[in-house]
Amino acid sequence: MLKAVIIDDVAQARDNLKTDISSYCDEVEIIGEADGVVSGAKLIKETKPQLVFLDIQMQDGSGFDLLEILPDLDFKVIFTTASDEYAIKAFKFSATDYLLKPVDPDELMAAVEKAHDQTTDKASIDLLKDKMSSKKEFKRLALHTLDKIHIVEITDIVRCESSVNYTTFFFTDGKKLLVTKTLKEYDTMLSDKGFYRVHQSHLINVNLVKEFVKTDGGYLVMKDGSNVPVSTRKKAVVMDMIAEM
C-alpha cells in the first residue's frame, strides 16, 4: 500500500483526485491533503508519505518551491497540471511523471503503476524546473533506464531502435541506453528536433546520416557506422531529405 498526500490549492481538484484514486487505485491510501506550498511542506514532514500528488501552480508558490523546502526527495512525485502545451512538452522531455487536469483514470493508474517502480530523481526535477521557467528551446532529454535517469544532449543521439515497449538509444560516443518508453513517444518528442522515423522500429538523427545505400532493400549508414533499414513507403521521403542536405 502506497501512503500518499494530495497538494493542490483548488478544493474541487483535490476532491476529484481523491475520488478517482479511491475508485481506481486500491494500492494507494490518501493520508492527508494540503492547499499550498507551506501547508504542503508541513504535511509531508508530519506524515512522511511515499507518494505526493503535487500541483504545479498554487496561490503561495509552485510545486518546485515546495520541493526546494524539502531537498531530500525520499518520496515519489506525480505532478498535476492544467492544459498547457509548453508545460506538457517540458514534462515529456524531463521524464518526470504528471497528470493532466481533469485527470484521466487510465493515466492515473499508469502513473501510480510507474511510481511503484521508479524513484523521483532530483536531476530530472531540476531539468523540468529549468524548462518550465526559461521557455528556451529543448536541448536536453531525460531518459529513464531501469536503474537511473540519464540527462543527455539531443544532438548526441545518433538513432533510436524499438524493442517492444522499450527503446534503445545509440549515442555518438558509442554508448547505448535501454529506456522504458516506446519509440512512438520519442518519435512525437523528437520529430521537430531533426529526427525522422524511417522504419517502424527505427528513428534517426537526420543530421548524423552519412549515406543512403540503394541496394539490399535500401538502408542508411549513420556516422557511427551503423546501418538502419528504410521502409519501402519511406524511401522516397528519405531520398528527398538527403538530396536537400
- Cα separation, 113 vs 165, in Å, equals 15
Provide, rounded to the nearest whole percent, the portion of the chain with pLDDT above 90: 57
The pLDDT score that the predictor gives to residue 23 is 96
- Neighbour tally for 48: CB within 10 Å: 12
The 10s digit of each residue's pLDDT in 193-206 is 999 999 999 999 99
Report residue 239's pLDDT band, with 50, 70 and 90 as the boundaries: confident
- Judged by DSSP in three states, 230 sits in coil
Give me the pLDDT at residue 177, please.
Answer: 96
Instruction: Tell me the pLDDT band of 87, cut-offs 50, 70 and 90.
Output: confident
Distances (CA, A) of 167 to 55, 121, 161, 182: 30, 20, 6, 6
Tens of pLDDT, residues 21-64: 999 999 999 999 999 999 999 999 999 999 999 998 899 988 98
* Dist CA 1 CA 11 (whole Å): 25
Is the pLDDT at 2 greater than 80? The verdict is yes
Q: Render the burial of 177-200: b for 16+ CB within 10 Å, e for the rest.
A: bebeeebeebbebbeebebbbbbe
| Mean pLDDT of the region 166-186 | 94
- Arithmetic mean of pLDDT, 154-181: 95
The confidence score (pLDDT) of residue 230 equals 94
Would you state the cell numbers that stand for residue 158, as one nine-digit string? 545518433
- For residue 134, what pLDDT is reported? 67
- Mean pLDDT of the region 78-93: 81
Identify which has the larger pLDDT, 176 or 133: 176
The pLDDT tens digits for 110-162 are 999 888 877 777 778 888 888 777 666 788 998 988 888 899 999 999 999 99
- Which pLDDT score, from 0 to 100, does residue 31 have? 97
